[in-house]
Amino acid sequence: MINRPLFVAAFTCLLFFSCETSYENPCTHFDKLDSKMLTITSQVNEKYSSDKAFLEDFKMEQVFWIQYRDRRLRAMYPRSWDNFYRKKFGREEFNTCKCQEMVRMAKIRIADLEMYINGSDAEQADCPSMLNNK
C-alpha cells in the first residue's frame, strides 16, 4: 500500500526540483548572450577586415550601443535602486530585473549583428548596404 501523504510530498518535491533546475538566472543568461555577441563581433571584424572605413564605423556602433544600453539601464533603474541592492547584499550586484532587460536588449543586438554576417532581412534585401554587400 502506498503512503499517500508521503507520495504527494515526494512528487511535489520532484516536481519543484525539476522546475527549479530548468530556471536560469537572467544574469547568467546575459553572460552567455554577451559571450555570443563578442563571438559575432569577432566574425564581423574578420569578414570585413579589408574595409577599414567600415570597421571604424562598426567600432563606433559598438561603443554607442554599449552607451545606449548602460544609459537605458540607468534610466530604468536609478542609483537609489542600485544603492538598495548594494546595502542588501553588501556589494554592487545586478538585480535580476536589470539582467532581464539586458537579456532583452542583447537578443535584439545579436539579431542586428548577425545581419552583418548573414545579410539583411527580406524587407531590406534590395537596399544597397553593407548588410547586402551592395
* Per-residue b or e along 52-91, where b marks 16 or more CB atoms closer than 10 Å to that residue's CB: eebeeebeeebeebeeeeeeebeeebeeeebeebeeeeee
Count CA atoms closer than 13 A to 49's CA, side-chain side.
4
When pLDDT is averaged across residues 22-43 and rounded to a whole number, the result is 90
Predicted confidence band of residue 16 (pLDDT cuts 50, 70, 90): very low
pLDDT at site 21:
45
Predicted confidence band of residue 64 (pLDDT cuts 50, 70, 90): very high
Tens-place pLDDT, residues 85-127: 667 666 555 577 888 999 999 999 999 999 999 887 777 777 7
CA angle centred on 88, ends 82 and 89, rounded to 5°: 90
Q: DSSP for 27-75, please give it.
A: HHHHHHHHHHHHHHHHHHHHHTTT-HHHHHHHHHHHHHHHHHHHHHHHH
Report residue 24: phi and psi, to 5°.
Answer: -120, 130
With contact defined as beta carbons under 8 Å apart, do 118 and 133 qualify? Answer: no
CA angle centred on 10, ends 2 and 19, rounded to 5°: 145
pTM for the whole structure: 0.71
pLDDT at site 3:
55
Tens-place pLDDT, residues 65-77: 999 999 998 888 8
Q: How far apart (Å, rounded) are the C-alpha atoms in residues 74 and 67?
A: 10
pLDDT at site 132:
67
